[in-house]
Amino acid sequence: MNGENDKLKEEIWNIRNYIQKLEDIKDEIIDYLKDLKELDDSTRNLWISDVKEFYYNTISAWEMLKPIKKIEFKNIETSKDFLYVARNNSSKIISELGIFQNDKSSKLIKKAEEAFKKCWDAFWFVFQSLLSEKEILKPTERVIKISDLEYHLLCSVCSKNAVEFKIGYGRFDKSEALVFRGITHERSMNINLANNLFRILQEKDLLGVHNFMKKHHSFEGLDAYCPECDKIYCWEHYNAREEFDDGFYDSTYGECPNGHKRMIDD
């Protein structure tokens, strides 16, 4: 056991080597942006900030694993969260660099993608090793009734709470609303829709909830739901990825463990 722990400690420590490569790419991209005459100062500073955020989120993911003597489950989850943010940052940077379509930007894109892929793989090797000894409880219920005013939908893989519907106040609400929190965003809906939705939830009809959201919320429907599987997935197990166009957010796609892919937010 001690030998396995020592090996895991070494794997965690060695992630810094991949991060060093990422830092080198980060500096190259920043130097490239500083020399770009096509950029105004405001855009230049914003894009440089995006590159730094990408790098520092990766660093933060590693920092959460560094108390090697005792790594708690919440540290692993927080590390994953930082890494997912870094992946979204990476997509945004690549979108920004892709605007110029020259040899230099193409090489930087390739180097950034390769360096982050190695980081990503190193992190996930550690995550899987840390979690291999933990028993992940499978959800016994698709829909959990918290109260007459609140329902949760659990990930079918890890039982993490993926979706919430409740009567309450959203961030900018001045009166009570039907508040939806999914894996891509939170939004308030007309409170008069609650009774209809809660009846569907009581029947544990996920497709019914999805169709309700398509009608009253957006064409994409319930973001955490895979219609082909008829299952709910959290951000991680839907492998949700943000996509950018010219540096601006465009959409989010999910791909479930069974390979079903769809746009889950636009």
CA-based diameter of the chain, in Å?
A: 60
Which are the contacts of 48, defined by CB distance < 8 A and separation ≥ 6? 30, 33, 34
- Cα(208)–Cα(200) distance, rounded to whole angstroms? 6
Tokens of 252: 């989010």
Q: For residue 232, which phi and psi values (nearest 5 degrees)?
A: -100, 140
Nearest to 55 by CA among 9, 11, 107, 19: 19
Render pLDDT for 83-96 as a digit per residue (tens, 0 to 9): 999 999 999 999 99
Domain ranges of the chain: 2-131, 143-265
Q: Report the relative pairing of strands 231-232 and 225-226 from DSSP bridges.
A: antiparallel
Q: For residue 203, which phi and psi values (nearest 5 degrees)?
A: -85, 0
Nearest to 226 by CA among 182, 179, 264: 264
Q: Are 237 and 155 in contact (CB under 8 A)?
A: yes
Q: Are 238 and 224 in contact (CB under 8 A)?
A: yes
CATH class of 2-131: mainly alpha
Render pLDDT for 85-125 as a digit per residue (tens, 0 to 9): 999 999 999 999 999 889 999 999 999 999 999 999 999 99
Q: C-alpha distances in angstroms, 255 versus 180, 242, 252, 265?
A: 22, 12, 10, 13
Q: pLDDT tens digits for the chain (266 residues)?
A: 455 677 888 888 999 999 999 999 999 999 999 998 888 999 999 999 999 999 999 999 999 987 655 667 788 889 999 999 999 999 999 999 999 889 999 999 999 999 999 999 999 999 888 876 454 556 568 899 999 999 999 999 988 899 999 999 988 888 999 999 999 999 999 999 999 999 999 999 999 999 999 999 999 999 999 999 999 999 999 999 999 988 899 999 999 999 999 999 98
